[in-house]
Amino acid sequence: MAGTRSSTRKDAGSASNTAAEGAAAAAAGTKRTSNNATSAPKRSKKANGAKAEQKTIEETMPTKDEESGKPAEGQPLNQADDVEDGEAGADPLEEPSQKGDSSREEPKDGESKNEEPKNDDAKNEGQDGGGEKISSEGSAILHDPEREEAMPSSILEKGIIYFFFRARVGIEDPQGVQDVARSYIVLRPLPLDAKLGEGPLENAGNLRLLALPKKVLPVSRQDRFMVFVEKAQATIQDLNEVFAGADYETRTLGQRHTPAATPSGEGVYAITSTGRDSHLSYILTVPSKINEVQKELGLRERASFVASAKNPEVRGPANATLPNPAQFDPEILSDFRGRGWMPLQARLLDYTNAQILLIGEQSDDLAAALEPNPTDQKQHKTTPLDEMEQLEHEDDIRVNHLKGDDPVLADLGLSSADHAKLQTTW
């Protein structure tokens, strides 16, 4: 199994020394033992990975002399390919800102009143900390009322994030980003009161599959890349169908093979609002060390993006427009107030073909994205950064106890026989 970040901290020594934690994050991790379950969440700032080669929004506009982005002869066209090389373009006329508890029944005739009630919620209720009852959904999600009470108001959504890439048709052993056809982000929302326990998450049918036609993530404010929701409210089965390899026939090239998608990272994320802007932030759990694959794909140990949603009723550049735009409810469309963009709302990600513009942040300290709300501070609520680091700490313990030799595939219930394991080197 790929190493995780808490195991890296354990090998390095004391978690109270910030400098020591920074050095530990650069070392390869080993599996955490059960004794780590009570250790304090990490607070160290992670080192910034090497910058992947990027294109600015201006370079991707139709007036620039760049590749057409059309697939090679014999490769099937799909909606995502139509906008691959133009997705980085924002509307030049208007740019987004940069800134069940089941009831217990009486025993039936012949049943003992002392028999343990067959109630999953009752069976999974336990004690945590100072005697607070924390209920379970029968999976790794535990519901903590105190966690919900202390949740900062700026966090609109939190959850688990996965990163995948798919090699080009006919390439089984990619040697760099030039051999990558498409990258993906999978968002797995969690309840705001969620505390992570051990084991895989349940198949709740709430996955969002986001496609990145530019293949890499933005790493600076000059990088403005469009992503779109390829599948909303998806199940594990839906994900398996999209990520599986496939063979097909063409008239000119004969049989062709599309490789299965390969995982490149897993961690936790939060969608936050600072009032004027929305941000998508993440902290990686695996791999424990950023390597060449992650660096070239734009992944860092922790990063954030300014995130804006596109109004499907406002026309933009042809190469940055989907032929079948998202069908938002009238209530959502009214929130745009006729503008081309607005700060991302988490509910927009539940619409297939919703388009999101991600603008890279300059640093990896998450300060701008996770700035505490003054009102929350007066009420002594948890800071957004503390909540994210606590969630990542819990996720680190959780994935180390997953069965299988790849934590990402095991967590998503994907077969290692049909999918490549998490890749860190080309």
167 DSSP β-pair partners? 180
Could you please report the per-residue DSSP string of 121-150?
A: HHHH-EEETTTEEEEE-SSSEEE-HHHHHT
d(CA 33, CA 30): 9
d(CA 259, CA 247): 9
pTM here is 0.72
| Average pLDDT of the chain, as a whole number | 76
Q: How confident is the model at residue 167 (pLDDT cuts 50, 70, 90)?
A: very high
Give residue-wise pLDDT tens across range 17-40. 444 444 444 443 443 343 443 444
Q: How confident is the model at residue 192 (pLDDT cuts 50, 70, 90)?
A: very high
- If phi > 0 it is left, if psi is from -120 to 50 it is alpha, else beta; for residue 355 that is beta
Q: How confident is the model at residue 319 (pLDDT cuts 50, 70, 90)?
A: confident
Give residue-wise pLDDT tens across range 58-110. 444 444 344 434 444 444 434 444 444 444 444 433 455 444 444 444 444 44
d(CA 368, CA 123): 42
pLDDT of residue 172: 83
Helix 384-400 to helix 5-12 angle (10° resolution) is: 90
Higher pLDDT, 279 or 64: 279
DSSP run (H or E) holding 20: helix 18-24
- pLDDT for 312 beyond 90: yes
* Residue 348 tokens, joined: 């927009």
* Residue 202 tokens, joined: 């349940």
**Coil, strand or helix: which one is 158?**
strand
